[in-house]
Amino acid sequence: MWSSKIEEFQKENKISLDLKHELHLCFYIKHLLNDHYEFTTKNKKMIISDLNLEADVSQDAFYYWWSFQRFDELTKEETKLYNEFNDLKNKILSAIEKIKLPELKDKDDPETVKEKTNKINSNNEKTRALQDHLKSEADTSNRKINNLRNFRSLYPSIDSLERFLKNIKIIIENE
C-alpha cells in the first residue's frame, strides 16, 4: 500500500522536489498522507482531520498514529515485500536447478552433438532469462523496501513532527 503510494507520487508529481529541503519534504509527506489525514487551518490554527474516523484529532493522536500505527504498517509491508521476493527467488532457483543440460560424449554422432548443442544453448538462454528476471525483481523489491525504510525514518521525534506540522501550516497558508 505505502510503496504503491510512494511510487505513484514519484510518477505523477510534476513539481521538482528536493527532499533535502524541509518544505519540499513536507509537501511530499502531505500528499502521501492524503488518504489518511487532511490538514487545514482555521484562525491560524492547524486542524488535523482523520479521514478514516471522519473526525478531527489532536497533534498527540496524530503523533501516536505516526509513531506506532504507520510505523507498524510500513514494517509489515516491508516484510511482505521481502517474503514475496524470497518466494519468487526460491521458485526461480528451483526452476533453474530443474533445467537439465545434456552431456556431450565422444561417441555421439554429429547429428546428436548438434541436437545436444542446440538443447544446451536453449537451456542456457532459459537460465539466463530466469536470472535476468530475478535480478529485475530484486532491484524492484529493493527499491520499494528502501522507499519504505526512508519513509519510516522520517520525523522520528515529537519535536521533529511538530516542525513538520508547522511546515504543513506554511504550505497550506500559501497554496
Q: Are 54 and 64 in contact (CB under 8 A)?
A: no
> What are 26-50's pLDDT values in tens digits?
999 999 999 999 999 998 899 999 9
Can you tell me the mean pLDDT for 107-134?
87
Domain carrying residue 45: 2-173
User: What's the number of domains the chain is made of?
Assistant: 1
DSSP track, 61-121: HHHHIIIIIHHHHHHHHHHHHHHHHHHHHHHHHHHHHH-PPPPP-TT--HHHHHHHHHHHH
- Tell me the three state secondary structure of residue 42: strand
> What are 46-56's pLDDT values in tens digits?
999 999 999 99
Q: Comparing C-alpha atoms, which of 46, 54, 53, 50 is closest to residue 37?
A: 50
